[in-house]
Amino acid sequence: MKKDERFHYTVKELIEILERLPQDAPVVVSGYENGFENIRQPILKELIHEPKNAYWDGEFQPIENGAPDSFQAVLLRRVERDQTQSSMDRFTGDWTSPADD
């Protein structure tokens, strides 16, 4: 089967890479402008490829009710922090208060 050039990794390829790394190493993603953030729980989401979108909109967009060229993808989303929300529960993606930390 030919590799779909729209994507850099499949789940299988990512697992193979991650298995070679220290298993107790934390996982982070790029921050909003700089630095890095924690990730939320990975989820499956139906997406559509829109490569002509501006870079700030992303070339993959969520879609509801399907489309002929939509597909399921695993999302690794960054935690979006602000000054009124102290932390994010890494398992549910729900915000927790400072007293819950």
How confident is the model over 32-64, as pLDDT tens digits?
Answer: 888 999 999 999 999 999 999 998 899 999 998
State the residue range of the domain holding 25.
Answer: 11-95
Q: Identify how many contiguous H helices and E strands the chain contains and give both numbers.
A: 1, 7
pLDDT of 88 over the 50 cut: no
| Dist CA 24 CA 34 (whole Å) | 24
pTM for this predicted structure: 0.66
Helices (H), the chain: 11-19
- Residue 22 within a domain: yes
Count of domains in the chain?
1
- Residue 36 within a domain: yes
